[in-house]
Amino acid sequence: ADGGDEPAPAAAPGRAQVFSTVVDTFLEKLVAAGSYQRFVSCYRCFYKLQPQLTRSIYDQFISQLQASIKEEIQEVKNEGNLEGLFSLLDKIVEEAKDRQEPAWRPSGVPARDVRSALVPFLLRHRAHLRRALQERQRRSSSLAQEVLTGRDSIAELQQLIQARQQAWQ
Amino acid sequence: MSVDPMIYEAQFFGFTPQTCMLRVYIAFQDYLFEMMLVVEGVMLKKLDGIPGCKISPSKIRKCTEKFLLFLKEHFDKLFSKMEEVLLQLVLNIPKNVLLPEDRVQEQYPYSEEQFQALQDELQQLQQQCRAEAVLEQELRAELEEQKVVKAELEKILQCFDGLENICREHGAGNFKESFALLTQSSKKLQDVLKEVEEKSKKMNQHDHLM
pLDDT grade, residue B180 (50/70/90)?
confident
Give chain B positions within 8 Å (CB) of A138. Answer: none
Confidence (pLDDT) at B115: 93
Q: What is the CA radius of gyration of chain A?
A: 42
Residue B49: DSSP 8-state: T
Residues 188-207 on B with a CB inside 8 Å of A are none
State how far the Cα of A132 lies from the Cα of B122, in Å rounded to an integer: 12
Ranges A59-63, B108-112, B114-118, B167-171: which has the least confidence? B167-171
**% chain A with pLDDT above 70:** 93
**% chain B with pLDDT above 70:** 95
pLDDT at B48 over 90: no
Give chain A positions within 8 Å (CB) of B159. Answer: none
pLDDT at A82 over 90: yes
Q: For residue B132, how many other CB atoms are within 10 A of its CB?
A: 20
**Residues B79-107: pLDDT tens digits?**
999 999 999 999 999 999 999 999 989 88
State how far the Cα of B197 lies from the Cα of B185, in Å rounded to an integer: 18
Q: What is the rounded average pLDDT of the residues A20-46?
A: 94
pLDDT at B193 over 80: yes
Confidence (pLDDT) at A2: 46
Confidence (pLDDT) at B175: 64
pLDDT at A8 over 60: no
pLDDT at A6 over 60: no
Contacts of B153-162 with CB under 8 Å at 24 or more apart are B153/A154, B153/A157, B153/A158, B153/A161, B154/A157, B156/A161, B157/A157, B157/A160, B157/A161, B157/A164, B160/A161, B160/A164, B160/A168
CA distances from B42 to A44, A60, A117, B51 (A): 16, 11, 62, 16
Q: Please give the distance of CA B90 from its chain centroid, rounded to a whole number.
A: 41
Give chain B positions within 8 Å (CB) of A140. Answer: 132, 135-136, 139
CA atoms within 13 A on the CB side of B188: 6
ipTM: 0.72
> How many residues belong to chain B?
210
B32 CB within 8 Å of a chain A CB: yes
Residue of A nearest to B34 (CA): A65
Average pLDDT of every residue of chain B: 89
Confidence (pLDDT) at A169: 76
Phi, psi dihedrals of residue B20, rounded to the nearest 5°: -60, -45
Confidence (pLDDT) at A108: 86
Give chain A positions within 8 Å (CB) of B157. Answer: 157, 160-161, 164
Confidence (pLDDT) at A165: 85
SS3 A105: coil
**Residues A49-66: pLDDT tens digits?**
889 999 999 999 999 999
Of residues B3 and B189, which shows the higher confidence score?
B189
Q: In chain A, what's the furthest Cα-to-Cα distance?
A: 149
Q: How many CB pairs under 8 A join A and B?
A: 230
Q: State whether A6 and B89 contact (CB < 8 Å).
A: yes
**Residues B120-164: pLDDT tens digits?**
999 999 999 999 999 999 999 999 999 999 999 999 999 888 888
Residue of A nearest to B113 (CA): A115
Q: State whether A122 and B105 contact (CB < 8 Å).
A: no
